[in-house]
């Protein structure tokens, strides 16, 4: 599979998400820009901080015409618990089969406690109202990241 590059159309896909909803990329065409942030695991320190940062700026993303959605390989049940505990105002997409992760090429070999494991490389993607990938952030650091993404959304 070819990696998505900036300016290309992101293939339409569907996935289960929290609150009993189904995500469909094409539902956002012509309506809203979309921020998809991929994170390694529910309820871990870095992922919680990142989610809370997006949550704190959620109203600004909405005002700029963008929806924010988090994605990981965790189950819907895990996502529901994580979302409720942290009071996230946005939905989380479950990708236990890694289909969306593979589409965005975020599954990487990582070192964990001296062993190599497959996991999600923390990444964020900005998709415009036409379904084109406008910007990608990979191997990112949580601190300051949300402000950078918000600035890119506001510049659309």
Average pLDDT score, the chain:
91
- Sequence-distant contacts of 146-151: CB under 8 A, at least 24 apart: 146/50, 146/53, 146/54, 146/56, 146/57, 147/57, 149/35, 149/37, 149/124, 150/57, 150/60, 150/61, 150/64
| Residue of 34, 36, 47, 69 marked catalytic | 47
Q: Class for domain 16-155, per CATH?
A: alpha beta
Q: For the chain, what are the domain ranges?
A: 16-155
Q: Which structure tokens are listed for 49?
A: 């901080």
47 catalytically annotated: yes
Q: What is the pLDDT along the chain (156 residues), one digit of tens a residue?
A: 456 888 899 999 999 999 999 999 999 998 889 999 999 999 988 899 999 999 999 999 999 999 999 999 999 999 999 999 999 999 999 999 999 999 999 988 777 677 777 778 889 999 999 999 999 999 888 899 999 999 999 998
- DSSP assignment string, 66-109: EEEEEEESS-HHHHHHHHHHHT-SS-EEE-TT-HHHHHTT-EEE
Predicted confidence at residue 112, as pLDDT, reads 66
Contact (Cβ atoms closer than 8 angstroms) between residue 127 and residue 25:
yes
Q: In degrees to the nearest 10, what's the CA dihedral of 113, 116, 120, 125?
A: 110
Q: What is the pTM of this model?
A: 0.92
């Amino acid at each position: 599979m070819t990696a998505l590059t900036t300016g290309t159309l992101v293939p339409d896909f569907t996935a289960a998400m929290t609150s009993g909803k189904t995500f469909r990329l094409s539902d956002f065409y012509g309506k809203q820009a979309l921020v998809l942030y991929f994170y390694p695991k529910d309820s871990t320190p870095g992922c919680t901080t990142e989610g809370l940062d997006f949550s704190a700026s959620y109203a600004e993303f909405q005002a700029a015409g963008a929806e924010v959605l988090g994605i990981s390989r965790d189950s819907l049940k895990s996502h529901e618990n994580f979302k409720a505990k942290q009071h996230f105002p946005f939905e989380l997409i479950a990708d236990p089969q890694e289909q969306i992760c593979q589409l965005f090429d975020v599954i990487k070999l990582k070192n964990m406690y001296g062993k190599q494991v497959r996991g999600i490389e923390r990444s964020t993607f900005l998709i415009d109202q036409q379904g084109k990938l406008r910007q990608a952030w990979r191997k990112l650091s949580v601190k300051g990241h949300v402000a950078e993404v918000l600035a890119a959304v506001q510049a659309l």
